[in-house]
Amino acid sequence: MRRIVRLDLPRRLGRHLPRPLTEALTGLVIAGAFAGLRAALNPIAGDLAPFALAILAMVLATLVSGWRSGLIAILVGVALDWYFVLAPRDDFQLSPSAAISLAFVAVTAGLTLLALALYQHEVRAGEIARARRINFLGHALREMDHRTRNNFQIVMSMLQLQANRSGNSEAKAALGEAVERLQAVAAVYESLSLSSHGLQTVRLQDQLQEICDRVRAGLLPEGVALETELEPILVPHEIGACIGIVVNELVTNACKHAFPGRSGRIRVSARRDGPQALIAVADDGRGMPGTARVRRGLGTRLVEVFVQRLRGRSEVHSSETGTVHTILVPLP
């Protein structure tokens, strides 16, 4: 019934016909169709339940075009049934029993029409209120996103200012790395907003593509290409955030360390492998030196922490021809 109410024929035809005309035509057409059907059944049904189809026509017209259309349908339908079914000589003479039947139909139809009109009014009021709530929530989410991005920018500016004022080279470098990682988190957050499929899930391929586009625009060394091969995958919001941070960290590290004075290629891929997602970040750079494999820097620890949060596992294969990081993440 709710789908029929949403049909709202006068609104759909509003560009071609005035609403009152659409309501009148709908009531007349439906009343005429049901009256013709009742007249065709007259040899079988006789004068039994003469106005049953008229009430049904009123209900249908009301649901399709509103209460005015239903009122027209019941008035026209009752008149036609009265003339073609009850009147023995095709006139408007009524027997006492027919008059009582007509009065009963009038009261029943009036109450039914009133109930339908009130129902439609409540449905429309609920739809308007729901649309207002959705608009309000959308505005609130956009405002929260805007403020969150501003907060990221404020914190990064403060850290960068402190780094510029610091006389300690180690502290300055640490603050600079903190700014870079905060930029990575901010980029992941914004990409989540852009790639959201809903409040609970994100399109992982869109999120990773957005991260790679940002790296390509601002951090990619000259002569190094960044390629992506991303299959459509829907993941929960929390999983998408962690994967984004890990991929951003791996791609950033490859940009900084894999190609000292040389050209090359970085490739990011993601696909579903059964009940899990398989994400790989590969480069054809110089590989990880032995000291780097033993040393556990902040970037390595960040990757390990977020992979553990994902309850996944990661593998690293590195040689003189490049490095491949593979991450397997179970999906719900």
What is the average pLDDT across 27-55? Answer: 81
- pLDDT at residue number 3: 42
Instruction: Check pLDDT > 90 for residue 298.
Output: no
pTM, two decimals, is: 0.56
In the chain, beta strands by DSSP E? 201-203, 224-230, 234-236, 264-273, 276-283, 313-319, 322-330
What structural domains and CATH numbers belong to the chain? 2-134 (no CATH), 198-330 (3.30.565.10)
Judged against a pLDDT cut of 90, whether residue 321 lies above it is answered with no
* CA neighbor of 244 nearest in space, from 310, 160, 330: 310
State the Cα–Cα distance between residues 206 and 217, nearest whole angstrom. 16
**Spatial CA neighbour of 281 closest among 236, 230, 218, 238:** 230
Q: How far is CA 254 from CA 45, 130, 286, 314, in A?
A: 85, 48, 10, 16
Q: What size, in residues, is the chain?
A: 332
Residue 226 has pLDDT above 90, yes or no: yes
- Mean pLDDT check: name the lowest of 73-77, 112-116, 134-138: 134-138
pLDDT (tens digit per residue) in 250-270? 998 898 888 888 889 999 999
Task: Kindly state the average pLDDT of the residues 295-314.
Answer: 81
- pLDDT tens digits for range 192-219: 666 665 657 788 898 899 888 888 887 7
Scan for tokens 């009122």, then name that residue: 71
